[in-house]
Amino acid sequence: AQSVTQLDSHVSVSEGTPVLLRCNYSSSYSPSLFWYVQHPNKGLQLLLKYTSAATLVKGINGFEAEFKKSETSFHLTKPSAHMSDAAEYFCVVRAGGSYIPTFGRGTSLIVHP
Amino acid sequence: NAGVTQTPKFQVLKTGQSMTLQCAQDMNHNSMYWYRQDPGMGLRLIYYSASEGTTDKGEVPNGYNVSRLNKREFSLRLESAAPSQTSVYFCASSATNTGELFFGEGSRLTVL
């Protein structure tokens, strides 16, 4: 069985300040983990993925995430928010060998000028 | 490269009407998925197809049917639409060994 919990439904930051979007997961087997971004009225785009290589994963647009097995977490960070980062972010887990990715409920990132 | 293409992008139905959402991918992926997205619920899996010739139920299959027509195409059918099926539907595909999903732009369905 696998599940994912995004700990915040909304996160509000000022432009230029750091971003932290939190994700905890549960998986019976070695998981693959992903972060996706969805801008308004658009499809989902992959930001980054962890598939058992380096635990610190760098993605597009300056985002990165760290896989922490002991804490079952995969939090998404960015040093400095831009207005264009305002979007919905989804954490996704896929247990090793599973065809079925499981989505978190999403975190809405709001960026203030 | 078109990636994943969904049609139609918008549709309004009356209760009881039927319709089919079409999805095609040109990346030679084995696995294809249909999700629905509702506010505050994330994406919920309706049906998936691990490979050509196979389909399986996801989390919310009731009221839907699917057909994996060939490796490229995976359609979703609503036989008798209900207002509870008002949602945004996303088709996705993935290469089996990575799990990374590639999404279409979505189909916004309203059932009156």
Task: Give per-residue pLDDT as tens, A16-58.
Answer: 999 999 999 988 777 889 999 999 888 899 999 998 778 899 9
Phi-psi region of A97 (alpha: psi -120 to 50; beta: other; left: phi over 0): left
Separation of first and last alpha carbons in chain B: 36
CB pair distance less than 8 Å for A32 and B40: no
In this prediction, residue B26 carries a pLDDT of 95
Chain centre to alpha carbon of residue B96: 18
Q: Give residue B97's pLDDT.
A: 58
The whole-chain average pLDDT of chain B stands at 93
pLDDT at B98: 65
HSE toward the beta carbon, residue B35, CA cutoff 13 A: 23
Search chain A and give the residue with CA nearest B47: A100
Nearest residue, CB atoms, A103 vs list B43, B100, B105: B43
Can you name the residues that pair with A23 across neighbouring β-strands? A6
Q: Is B38 helix (H, G, I), strand (E, B) or coil?
A: strand
In chain A, % of residues over pLDDT 90 = 73
Q: What is the pLDDT of residue B6?
A: 96
Q: Which residues make Cβ contacts (< 8 Å) with residue A68, sequence separation at least 6?
A: A55, A74
Residue A110 has a pLDDT of 97
Compare CB distances from B103 to A9, A43, A98 and report the shortest one's residue.
A43
